Every structure is written in C-alpha cells, then in structure tokens.
C-alpha cells in the first residue's frame, strides 16, 4: 500500500503528528509495536505545558483533559525545612500547566484518530526502514496476524521513543549524539491515598530529592532520588514512607498522606540530544531524537513541540510544494530542545544530591533556591520555563 507519511510509534509524538497531518489533509499510517491496551496502560509523565494543552484543544482532543485534568497555577519548592511557592499566572502573564497523565492523553488521541478513520496498526513486529536516501522510502513489517506487509511513503517519521528502530536505521557517522548520564535515578510509586498538597512539591534535602505529585483525588504519584543501581525489592512500603517523611519534612511538622503502594519502579536519568533530527526522507521526533531527565516535566511536551514544527513543514510541502520548512525542521526544533535540555539539567542539578557533593555545593544549591524563590526575576525565569517557552523561541 501507499501513504504520504509513514509514522513509527503511537506515543504522544506519533499520535499528535498523525492528527495534525489529518487536519492539514495529509494521509498517514501509524505502526505501533505494542497493543492498544498496553500503550493505554503505561504510566509515564503527568504535567502538560500550557502550549501542549492548547495544542490538544486545537486538534479536538482537549475536552476530557479540560474536564478531568487539574489546572496547576504553581509548584512548591521545599528546602531547608521551608516551602516557597512559584506562582505561574502571576509570573508568566496568566499561564498555567495541567496535571493530566500521559496514558490519558494516549487514550484520548487513539480514540480521536480511530473515530476520524485514522490508520493505526497495533502489535506489529519487525519494522524495517528502506530507501531513506530516495524520494520513495518504504516501511516493511509483520502485521498482528503474522503477515509481512510493505508501505510506500513520501516521508517516514520515527516517533518510536528511546529504543526504537528509526535512529539505528541511520548509517553510522551521520548523527552526532550529546549525552549526559546522571549518577542517580528516580524511585517512583503509585499509592492509594489522598493528595498531600494541592500543587506539586519538589523537595531538595540532604538525603536527596523527593517529589510529591498526584494522579487523582484517590491516587498519588511520588518519586525520590536513589542510586541508579538500587533494586525495587530492597524497598518495603515502610522504608519508602520513612524516606518520604524524612525528605519532605518541614520545620512546622508537615507530613505526607500515606497509603498502600501498588506500583514501584526505578528509572535512570540522562540528557541526550541527537543532531540532526533528519536523514534523507526520515525525520526523528520526540524521545527517538532526545531524552531529558524528568525533573522539569518536559519529555512529553518536547515531543508535542517537535511534531508541531514538523507538521507545519509537511503542510508547506504538500500545500505549496515548498520543502524549505521541512529542511529547516531539525534546526528549528533543536533550538527549543536545547533550551528545554538546559532547564531540565538545571532543575536536576539544583534539586539532587550527587555522590561526592560537598558542603560548599550544598550551600550553593540553598543559595540558588533562596534566590529563585525570593527574586521576582529569578522566579519568573523558572516559571516561564516550567509552563513552557513560547514556540517563537524555536525560530
Ligand atoms: P514514546 O512515548 O516512548 O512512544 C514511542 C512509541 O513507539 C511507543 O508506543 C513504543 O511502543 C513504540 N515503538 C518503539 N519501538 C517501536 C518499533 N520498533 N516499531 C513500532 N513501534 C515502536 N517524562 C516526564 O516529563 N515526566 C515523567 O515522569 C516521565 N516518566 C517517564 C517514565 C518512563 C519509564 C519513561 C520511559 C519515560 C518517562 N517520561 C517522563 C518521558 C515521557 O514519557 C516521554 O518523553 C514521552 O513518552 C515521549 O513521547 P514519544 O512519543 O516521543 O515516545
Ligand atoms: C510528574 C513527573 C515529573 O517528572 C514531574 O517533574 C512532575 C510530575 C508526574 O509523573 O506526575
């Protein structure tokens, strides 16, 4: 069969791109290696920047997000036994973020695409990319029934995340990778308990970082910094709660609301950028091209920003025969990506204790936290980055 744009991966990048292309009258087929149930049940990110919320609304996928999601007008930074609030609308001219879990975004986008007749092929295997240097690239794969199939495309977009096939299909030496691996990871839990706070708490403590986030009035999402080689089985519920109590403590005796823990995972942390995000007729978008440490809540939002730039490029190509914006995709997207990388790296460095950090380093972190929470200009910079830099900063 034939399509205009072959998309690999039905994560936020692939699904958003297929909907943006549909709205521009451009055909696409999405190939996804997992089942619909599996992608709709994978717990990942939680925070949507204001621009991602606008995008979801603009493409017709914002209704449940606005109804069931939670608008957050600020975050709490906790350090030295005290809590300081960053007020987003006040510091950014009225902008906020939404707490709406990634798997709910996925559910809404899959439902929307299928309702509009979108072509998403779940549970495919052995996707391979061919003739990327020509004007007629092809995708080969094995469908969910075990039959070999082929798609002829004008372009292919790799939206297949960190372990996908797209990037490895680019010949060696064509890409430059920048990478930083952090000497810590996050231990994430889901628990049945009421929220400890109406807004997220990011805590810097001598014992390490902790984050209190939420999923619903009944389910809470919390994280704490651990050694990346730590094992989940070493952590009983009691030990986890003792760690949260210690790291989230305040001088006035604040305590997190505790409850049964029903999910425990450890994720590593790194910063990674691949340049350029294109090879021949293959473009890379989202985690397939770059990874951020989760501290700034940028991963999903960057994927959304990439595909907006890319969709504009496809529109210019198909509507006006102008391939210039597509050729500039990598340069334009990377400008915003590097700024989000900087913010994620900065917030990670500010909030975590690294092995070997001395007392001087700790005092520097305390002074910086005091500065960004007491200076209106320092706070405004944090707030502007957290709610999401304007798209025009990418051009
Ligand atoms: P993905 O969401 O990874 O989607 C890629 C899709 O491609 C997947 O559905 C995958 O099954 C599919 N795929 C892969 N290989 C193939 C193949 N060969 N053929 C066909 N399909 C393929 N970000 C935050 O901001 N906060 C967080 O707390 C946070 N937690 C995270 C926890 C984990 C465990 C992970 C892995 C990521 C987390 N992230 C977090 C990052 C955020 O979830 C990602 O940045 C976001 O999912 C990127 O979207 P994407 O569409 O680029 O990639
Ligand atoms: C969540 C994850 C993050 O990385 C973050 O910075 C804020 C919230 C979450 O999963 O809720």
From the alpha carbon of 296, which atom of ligand 2 is closest?
6
Mean pLDDT for the chain overall: 97
Residue 133 lies inside a defined structural domain of this protein: yes
Structure tokens at 96: 């906020």
Residue 54 lies inside a defined structural domain of this protein: no
Domain of residue 159, CATH code: 3.50.50.60
Range of the structural domain that residue 265 is part of: 178-269
Q: Which of 141, 279, 329, 386 is catalytic?
A: 386
Angle, CA of 258, 264 and 268, to the nearest 5°: 125
Question: Cα–Cα distance between 83 and 77 in angstroms, integer?
Answer: 6
Residue 296 lies inside a defined structural domain of this protein: yes
Neighbours of 229 (CB within 10 A): 8
Below-70 pLDDT ranges, the chain: 392-395
In angstroms, the Cα distances linking 35 to 122, 143, 148 are 5, 12, 18
Residue 395 lies inside a defined structural domain of this protein: no
Question: Cα–Cα distance between 334 and 343 in angstroms, integer?
Answer: 14
> Quick one: 148 and 284 in the same domain?
yes
Say what the pLDDT of residue 391 is: 75
> Quick one: 112 and 170 in the same domain?
yes
> Quick one: 127 and 229 in the same domain?
no
Structure tokens at 150: 């082929």
Residue 206 lies inside a defined structural domain of this protein: yes
Domain of residue 246, CATH code: 3.30.9.10
End position of a domain, from candidates 269, 297, 331:
269
CB 304 within 8 A of CB 285: no
> Quick one: 111 and 224 in the same domain?
no
Ligand 2 interacting residues, C-beta cut-off 6 A: 45-47, 200, 213, 221, 294-295, 297
> Quick one: 33 and 158 in the same domain?
yes
> Quick one: 114 and 200 in the same domain?
no
In angstroms, the Cα distances linking 93 to 110, 199, 332, 380 are 33, 19, 25, 10
Domain count, the chain: 2
Q: Of the ligands numbered here, which is closest to the C-alpha atom of 38? A: 1
> pLDDT per residue over 62-118, tens digit each?
999 999 999 999 999 999 999 999 999 999 999 999 999 999 999 999 999 999 999
pTM: 0.97
Residue identifier of the C-alpha nearest atom 9 of ligand 2: 46
Q: Of the ligands numbered here, which is closest to the C-alpha atom of 123? A: 1
Question: Cα–Cα distance between 201 and 256 in angstroms, integer?
Answer: 11
For 181, counting Cβ atoms within 10 Å of its Cβ (0-12 exposed, 13-18 middle, 19+ buried), the class is exposed
Question: Cα-flanking dihedrals φ and ψ of residue 89, to 5°?
Answer: -60, -40
* Pairing, β 47-48 against β 97-99: antiparallel
Residue 98, C-beta contacts closer than 8 angstroms, at least 6 positions apart: 47, 48, 50, 53, 65, 69, 70, 71, 72
> Quick one: 218 and 329 in the same domain?
no
Say what the pLDDT of residue 392 is: 62
* Pairing, β 5-8 against β 155-158: parallel
> Quick one: 115 and 189 in the same domain?
no
Active site residue 223: no
End position of a domain, from candidates 269, 304, 330:
269
Say what the pLDDT of residue 106 is: 98
From the alpha carbon of 214, which atom of ligand 2 is closest?
11
**Shortest CA distance to 314 belongs to which of 28, 6, 21?**
21
Say what the pLDDT of residue 145 is: 98
Residue 218 lies inside a defined structural domain of this protein: yes
Question: Cα–Cα distance between 212 and 249 in angstroms, integer?
Answer: 12
> Quick one: 138 and 235 in the same domain?
no
CB 46 within 8 A of CB 102: yes
Strand order across the beta sheet in which 282-284 lies: 119-121, 28-31, 5-8, 155-158, 282-284, 278-279
For 326, counting Cβ atoms within 10 Å of its Cβ (0-12 exposed, 13-18 middle, 19+ buried), the class is buried
Q: In the beta sheet, which residues pair with residue 138? A: 130, 152
Say what the pLDDT of residue 393 is: 60
Residue 368 lies inside a defined structural domain of this protein: no
> Quick one: 192 and 295 in the same domain?
no
Cα–ligand 1 centroid distance for 82 (angstroms): 35
> Quick one: 251 and 301 in the same domain?
no
Question: Cα–Cα distance between 204 and 271 in angstroms, integer?
Answer: 20
Residue identifier of the C-alpha nearest atom 1 of ligand 2: 46
Residue 71 lies inside a defined structural domain of this protein: no
């Amino acid at each position: 069969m034939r399509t205009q744009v072959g998309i690999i991966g039905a994560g936020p990048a692939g699904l958003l791109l297929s909907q943006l292309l549909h709205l521009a009258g451009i055909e696409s087929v999405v190939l996804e290696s997992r089942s619909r149930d599996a992608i709709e049940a994978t717990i990942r990110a939680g925070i949507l920047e204001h621009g991602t919320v606008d995008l979801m609304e603009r493409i017709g996928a914002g209704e449940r997000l606005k109804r069931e999601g939670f608008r957050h007008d600020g975050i709490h930074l906790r350090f030295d036994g005290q809590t300081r609030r960053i007020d987003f609308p006040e510091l950014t001219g009225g902008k906020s973020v939404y707490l709406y879990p990634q798997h709910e975004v996925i559910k809404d986008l899959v439902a929307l695409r299928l309702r509009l007749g979108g072509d998403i092929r779940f549970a495919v295997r052995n996707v391979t990319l061919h003739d990327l240097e020509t004007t007629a690239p092809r995708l080969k794969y094995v469908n969910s029934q075990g039959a070999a199939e082929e798609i002829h495309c004008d372009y292919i977009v790799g939206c297949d995340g960190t372990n996908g096939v797209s990037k490895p299909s680019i010949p060696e030496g064509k890409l430059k990778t920048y990478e930083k691996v952090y000497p810590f990871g996050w231990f994430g839990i889901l628990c049945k308990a009421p929220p400890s706070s109406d807004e997220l708490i990011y805590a810097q403590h001598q014992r390490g970082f902790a984050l209190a986030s939420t999923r619903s009035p009944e389910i809470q999402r919390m994280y704490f910094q651990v050694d990346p080689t730590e094992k989940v089985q070493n952590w009983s519920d009691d030990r986890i709660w003792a760690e949260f109590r210690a790291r989230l403590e305040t001088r006035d005796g604040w305590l997190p609301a505790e409850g049964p823990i029903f999910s425990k995972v450890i994720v590593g942390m790194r910063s990674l950028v691949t340049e350029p995000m294109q090879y021949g007729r293959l473009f890379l978008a989202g985690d397939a091209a770059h990874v951020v440490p989760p501290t700034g809540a940028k991963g999903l939002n960057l994927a959304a920003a990439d595909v907006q730039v890319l969709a504009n490029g496809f529109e210019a190509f198909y509507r006006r025969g102008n391939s210039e914006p597509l050729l500039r995709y990598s340069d334009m997207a990377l400008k915003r990506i590097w700024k989000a990388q900087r913010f994620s790296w900065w917030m990670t460095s500010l909030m975590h204790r690294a092995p070997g950090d001395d007392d001087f380093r700790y005092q520097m972190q305390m002074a910086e936290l005091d500065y960004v929470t007491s200076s209106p200009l320092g706070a405004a910079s944090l707030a502007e980055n957290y709610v999401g830099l304007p798209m025009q900063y990418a051009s």
